[in-house]
Amino acid sequence: MKNKASSNPASVHMPDGNWKMWLITALALVGILTIGLLYCWQTKLSTEKKMREDLLDRTAMIAKALNVESIKLLSGTKKDLENPEYHRLKEQLAILKQANNDIRFIYITSWRANGTIFFFIDSEPTDSPDYSAPGQSYIEASTEFKNAVVNWDETVIGPEADQWGVFVSGICPITDPLTGEPLAALGADIAIPEWNKRVMVAMLPVAVATLLLMAVVLLYAFLYVYRSRRKKTGLLIYLEPVLATVFGLVISLFVAWHIQKHEQEQRNEIFSEMAGGTAELVAKIIDTVRFKELEGLASFLKPVKA
């Protein structure tokens, strides 16, 4: 009878029903991981949606802040290099880019009768390898980009690749405030590494919370099995309440972060509405201030960050 009992694998390898604990642990880990991955994906989608809305709002705000009369004086050729208004606009674009330091390029573009997209002006200094000269054709422009410019759409496109890199681009028409006639399109590009970094930062708390919860469950399973094999439990008698407290603390911190994030998003939306409502006032001021004063004004246009 003794030998027969010893031949039972369950009595040797999984005493006291520990296999049930490992089964429950495995199910709990799969459940937590599944919920965490779904939440990460939802966070990615919602973050990118808000980032696109934010980029479009800022692109529109910059477009309204530019001097329309100066843009009317541009020819879209190399002759603009001798035009004082070209250099005035270029300095304005450089300052506005500095105020929105996540934006890689700001530029004014349009299209010719043959459908070719070209640049009026960009925010890069003339000695930069990424500088686009006035009248330079944008041969690599995608169909979506061309349609946005030709149809004077207000939209966000990308990610799209060209000779300068991979970007998500905000496109917004620049219109005559008196007639409403579109004069050109303003583009603002965010490089995909910067874009992805912001998405990853938004997803990080979800990933950390998921891993911490999985670690707590796994630690509990190991300590539970370890305690079941010992005659003296010692401090392990408090295993359940201690780990339940840790589990609850992780969830509480995550919920607090989520609430704080939601409140910050609401504040940013209020700021965007206020900034958008003053954009036309900014456009009038921008014509008369000196460039040193313009730097302070550009700080007003700088987005609030979480």
Residue 209 has pLDDT above 80, yes or no: yes
Joined together, the tokens standing for residue 198 give 């912001």
Among the CATH numbers 3.60.20.10, 3.40.920.10, 3.40.50.300, 3.30.450.20, which is that of 56-191? Answer: 3.30.450.20
Cα–Cα distances in angstroms (integers) from residue 222 to residues 17, 213, 216, in the given order: 14, 15, 10
Per-residue confidence (pLDDT) for residue 13, from 0 to 100: 47
pLDDT digits (tens, 9 = 90+) for 74-93: 888 888 888 898 988 988 88
Please tell me the total number of residues recorded for the chain in this structure.
306
Joined together, the tokens standing for residue 247 give 């589990």
pLDDT digits (tens, 9 = 90+) for 143-171: 899 999 999 989 999 899 988 999 999 99
Instruction: Collect all residues with Cβ–Cβ distance below 8 Å to 34 and sequence separation of at least 6.
Output: none
Residue 292 has pLDDT above 50, yes or no: no
Per-residue confidence (pLDDT) for residue 179, from 0 to 100: 83
Cα–Cα distances in angstroms (integers) from residue 42 to residues 32, 37, 76, 174, 206, in the given order: 15, 9, 43, 34, 10
Per-residue confidence (pLDDT) for residue 59, from 0 to 100: 92
Residue 5 has pLDDT above 50, yes or no: no
Note if the bond before 84 is cis, omega within 30 degrees: no
Residue 8 has pLDDT above 70, yes or no: no
Can you tell me the distance from the alpha carbon of 126 to that of 24, in angstroms, rounded to the nearest whole number?
65
Can you tell me the distance from the alpha carbon of 220 to that of 298, in angstroms, rounded to the nearest whole number?
54
Average pLDDT (111-133) is 89
The answer to whether residues 59 and 148 touch, using CB atoms and an 8 Å cutoff, is no
DSSP state of 137: B
Query: At which residue do the structure tokens 């246009």 appear?
Result: 301
Average pLDDT (281-288) is 52
CB burial of residue 277 (10 Å; 0-12, 13-18, 19+): exposed
% the chain with pLDDT above 90: 23
Per-residue confidence (pLDDT) for residue 6, from 0 to 100: 46
Per-residue confidence (pLDDT) for residue 11, from 0 to 100: 42
The answer to whether residues 304 and 268 touch, using CB atoms and an 8 Å cutoff, is yes
pLDDT digits (tens, 9 = 90+) for 242-270: 667 766 777 777 777 767 776 666 666 66
- One-letter amino acid for residue 61 of the chain: M
Average pLDDT (132-136) is 90
Under the banding of pLDDT at 50, 70 and 90, the label for residue 299 is low
CB burial of residue 181 (10 Å; 0-12, 13-18, 19+): exposed
Per-residue confidence (pLDDT) for residue 159, from 0 to 100: 92
Under the banding of pLDDT at 50, 70 and 90, the label for residue 51 is very high
Which run of H or E residues covers position 264?
helix 239-277
Q: Which residue has the higher pLDDT, 1 or 274?
A: 274
User: Residue 103: CA atoms inside 13 Å, Cβ hemisphere, count?
Assistant: 32
The answer to whether residues 269 and 49 touch, using CB atoms and an 8 Å cutoff, is no
Average pLDDT (28-57) is 90
The answer to whether residues 163 and 140 touch, using CB atoms and an 8 Å cutoff, is yes
Per-residue confidence (pLDDT) for residue 306, from 0 to 100: 46
Per-residue confidence (pLDDT) for residue 193, from 0 to 100: 94
Per-residue confidence (pLDDT) for residue 4, from 0 to 100: 47
Can you tell me the distance from the alpha carbon of 268 to that of 284, in angstroms, rounded to the nearest whole number?
25
